[in-house]
Amino acid sequence: MLVLRLLNVVAPAYFLCISLVTFVLQIFVFIPSMFRDPSTTPLFSPALLHGALFLFLSANALGNYVLVIQSSPEDLGKDLNLGKGAEVADWLDGSRSPGSALPSTHFCRLCARVTQRHDHHCFFTGNCIGSRNMRNFIMFCLYTSLACLDSLVAGMAYISATLSMSFVDPLTFLTLLPHSISQFFSGALLSSEMFVILMLYLWLGIGLACAGFCCHQMLLILRGQTRYQVRKGMVVRARPWRENLQEVFGKKWLLGLLIPVLNVESNYRRQKEK
């Protein structure tokens, strides 16, 4: 448990550090290298369009990240009917089994909070993912994967221009890291260039992981399930996939795709049905 609590503190700091490094490299290294002659750059140049796209992806990823943390299950847990005489302390000492008060509720010992429709505990946000912040969490994974892909493409273009190499052959990227390590220790490669190359593989790994996690989460939502229910073997009531999507994303789902906003409408509808 101590290791998990330590990971719950280190993982968010690690993510914020990677985000800061990515932002600095994009704004101060990659995008300026795209401007050959700033005085003759047109208004809608590829460099400016790339910069606008990166800022849009970064703003959505960071905005949804903050909303996942702010949409704490603790606030929702105060409104749950845990039963007569039941307190959160009862859940802590194990006198009440998690999930016994309401269906699909779970008490997380890391957060010390009750989560309705608990899915999992996310160490990179230091928070549990449930009914209140599921949509923001999916949008966070989606825009993080897109931002990493954008940074990967920009970084490859920067390395290609700096080292005068081509990535037309897919094997070039696969052999780039071992070849760069040998050049770095022989003194033929600068430390800044080696750092960018290492970041390329880090962006690839994070982007693929977030994209895969987002796709898996969407499949569960379409079936009306959560990861916690699948892990515990809970049987869920079969509903049309449109209702399952609307429960998570709300009717105004397009707004959540463009800007990071809370899914207030969906929460209000569920409380009204109760």
Query: CA–CA separation, 90 vs 84, rounded Å?
Result: 12
Q: Phi, psi at residue 100, to the nearest 5°?
A: -80, -20
Q: Residue 130 has which token pair?
A: 């449930």
Distance from the Cα of residue 83 to its chain's centroid: 34
Asked if residue 106 lies in contact with residue 115, where contact means CB atoms within 8 angstroms, the answer is yes
Q: Residue 128 has which token pair?
A: 């549990």
Asked if residue 206 lies in contact with residue 147, where contact means CB atoms within 8 angstroms, the answer is no
Q: Phi, psi at residue 168, to the nearest 5°?
A: -65, -40
Q: Are strands 120-122 and 113-116 parallel, antiparallel or unpaired?
A: unpaired
Q: What is the SS3 assignment for 179?
A: helix
Query: CA–CA separation, 237 vs 54, rounded Å?
Result: 41
Q: Residue 81 has which token pair?
A: 């009917």
For the four alpha carbons of 232, 237, 241 and 242, in that order, the dihedral sign comes to negative
Q: What is the SS3 assignment for 255?
A: helix
Q: Residue 121 has which token pair?
A: 């505990």
214 is an active site residue: no
Query: CA–CA separation, 34 vs 176, rounded Å?
Result: 22
Question: Could you say which of 122, 141, 148, 214 is catalytic?
Answer: 122
Query: Which residues belong to the active site?
Result: 122
